Structure 1
Amino acid sequence: MSNDRRLDVLRAIVTEYVHTREPVGSKVIAQSHDLGVSSATIRNDMAVLEEAELIYQPHTSAGRVPTDKGYRVFVDQLRTLKPMSLPERKAVESFLSQSDSLDDVVTRTVRLLSQVTRQVAVVEYPALVREKLRRVEFVDLAPTNILVIVVTESGRVEQRTLVLVHPFSAEDLNWVRSRVNAVAEGRDVTEVHEAFDTLADEAPAHLRDGVMMMTEAVSDLLESTAESRIVLAGISNLARGAVDFGDIAPVLDALEEQVVLMRLFSELNQDDDVHVTIGEENPHDALTQTSVVTGTYRTTDSPFAARAHLGVVGPTRMDYAKTMSYVRAVAAYLSRFLSQ
């Protein structure tokens, strides 16, 4: 018996089961897939696949269903992913190109992935180890209330409201804004700390306490851009597919807490193009009923580059080829966005 044909039978079972959620019989494969053999021959192949624990029969007289091991063999045989069609690619690029900041592109990305895959989408903000400052703004809210806004070179925006001991005039605020941007623009958090060490000494005596508070706030906000955080969308997709889970509650709990996903991302090989973990392969109990398809996006290959992950969480009965293709394509787009 041909090993290639056996794999063709496995692919047919996975494909049919993913689209119908019904156990797949030999007659369906013979009619729907041009394998060039009879349904009797296909039944023999299925018996071998079942003995190898790649498929199983959920009940007597039923067709066959892939196991986690069967899905793994199927995914490993996807040597090349079918690229998105030109209309699909244009639609993705058009939707994401409307983003004008990192927050916007992350929000759009997670919405897009959840819509096109009909699963839960997860996007991690890049941990920009050496994120650099583009601009600082100080907005006068009240005589002693100042809004500090930090804009990084990636377009990320962080802000904080300060209550000063002494009021700052418009002229005072302009002086601080000018000096802070002059010494800090284009620098990372370590360099900003060093630049601010002497800035308070330059300030007029009546401004020094306020200047110290404002520069500390800028440093803190810039440092916070290196903290990992994730955004999710499409949890309702998972709930609608609850029939695919024995118990969906642990999965929903894990997604809500997000800690499991952060751990999963931290354990990934960051050089992987697209990585798939299936069922029991997931190291965390809450995800053993799911498959997780992840990709990595980055600015450059520099050790200090922006780097993060995105992915899709769904049942093991998943359209792997489509999901992997979208994850890879969107990760590539995010890499281009950050590099620009």
Structure 2
Amino acid sequence: MVSERGLQVLQAIVQDFVETREPVGSKRIVDRHAFGVSAATIRNDMALLEDEELIEAPHTSSGRVPTDKGYRVFVDHLARLRPLTSAQRAAISVFLDGSTDLDDVLSRTVRALTRLTGQVAIVQYPSFARADVSHVEIVDLGGRVLVILVTDTGRVSQRVVSLPDGAEPAEVAHVRARVSALVTGRSVRDGAQAVAAALPLHQAPADAVLVAVLRVVAEELEEFRQDRLLMAGAANLARSEADFRGSIYPLLEAIEEQVTLLRLMSEMVADREGLAASIGRENEAFGLAEASIVTGDYDATGARARLGVLGPTRMDYPTNLAAVRAVAHYLSQLLEDDESSR
């Protein structure tokens, strides 16, 4: 059982190690933190923390560094979320205000989050399977058409489709009406099913334009239904490579493939504020035993999703948790305001 002062010593070790990347000794703790006890007493506290496997010595006669278990205790019991400065809050507002659609606002969100934390920033797209297709537009570009799909949750898809030779403007107008009748006002799921059912019925050469557009619409609606991530700041991993005992390749692979991170984020259990942290060896099953991920829930017109940061276990958890919480709150409010203004 760790004493109250022992927990405070652990907090000092975590804070100093995160700041300096150097093992922390008892003299440093006495010099930098007002415990009012001798270095010998602090050494005894550190020995107890080591017995509990909360800190360890990276090599003989060195100071101590936190273990993954130590970081977990710190996050669960000691970390206090540091309020963001007015400058940081203003930066969030500058990044997110003026966005044009959901893709744009989420892109701005990850850029803001990586600027605030210096980590890899991640935002999960909300699931749009239950969203309704509110508008379809097909714009004739002369030999090609621009297919635009819009959902009532603000998701926008734009794809250019090449048309068969000899396609007439009247055909484009007919296709627009046909596609709109199939999907407008329906959920993404139902619209995708309607398109899938219609495709086999239009295989005649005269239907070539309609089939080309329907296939693209089917692909875009399917993408709306799938979970996916948007990320920024992968270069930050290279700058923190010294914090990884092994290779950063598993992290880069997880960023590229996304499936691993989606599974990990979906299994993290959030607290009452919607915040969660998964630290070091807790991520071993996902091949990310040397990384930590901090997430926060945000609300996108009734569909909840997560955003967060990924980095080494030696990260500033209080600051990162505060940044994630603030950005998640701002994003939820922005999406709610956007929905109410429609």
Give your verdict on TM over 0.5.
yes
Q: Alignment partner of 2:225: what SS? A: coil
Deviation at 1:165, TM superposition (A): 5.3
1:1-340 mapped onto 2 (5 Å cutoff): 3-78=3-78, 80-143=80-143, 145-164=144-163, 169-171=168-170, 173-174=172-173, 176-177=175-176, 181=180, 184-192=183-191, 210-211=209-210, 214-215=213-214, 217-248=216-247, 249-269=249-269, 273-284=274-285, 286-300=287-301, 305-339=302-336, 340=338
Please state how far the C-alpha of 1:169 moved relative to its aligned partner. 4.3
| Distance in 2 between residues matched to 1:232 and 1:90, nearest whole Å | 22
Instruction: Give the TM-score normalised by the residue count of structure 1.
Output: 0.85
Check 1:75–1:179 CA distance in 2 against 1; reply closer, same or farther (3 A cut): same
Cα deviation 1:97-119 (Å, max 9, x = unaligned): 12111111121111222222111
Structure 2: runs of 5+ lacking an equivalent: none
TM-score (norm 2): 0.85
Q: Equivalents in 1 of 2:251, 2:218: separation in Å? A: 38
Cα deviation, 1:136-165, whole Å, max 9, x if unaligned, reads 11111235x332111223332223344555
* 206-215 or 231-240, which deviates more: 206-215
- Between 317-326 and 227-236, the greater mean CA deviation after superposition: 227-236
Q: CA deviation at 1:271?
A: 7.2
* CA 1:338–1:50: 2 relative to 1, 3 Å: same
CA contact (8 A) 1:296 1:307 kept: yes
Deviation at 1:129, TM superposition (A): 2.1
Task: Give the partner amino acid of 1:280.
Answer: R
Fraction of identical pairs, as percent? 49
Equivalent pair of 1:128/1:307 in contact (CA under 8 Å): no
Q: Deviations over 1:279-311 (max 9, x none)?
A: 1111435310111112222225xxxx4332222
In the alignment, is the contact (CA less than 8 A) between 1:137 and 1:150 conserved in 2?
Answer: yes
**Distance (whole Å) between structure 1 residues aligned to residue 76 and residue 126 of structure 2:** 28
> What displacement does 1:5 show?
1.1
Q: Residue deviations 1:229-265, cap 9 Å, x none?
A: 2222222211111111111233333333333212212
CA RMSD of aligned residues (A): 3.1
Partner Cα distance (2:184, 2:34) in 1: 63
Residues of 1 paired with 2:310 and 2:141: CA distance? 43
Q: Is residue 260–residue 286 contact of structure 2 (8 Å, CA) maintained in 1?
A: no
Q: Pick which of 258-267 and 311-320 moved more.
A: 258-267
Number of corresponding residues: 332
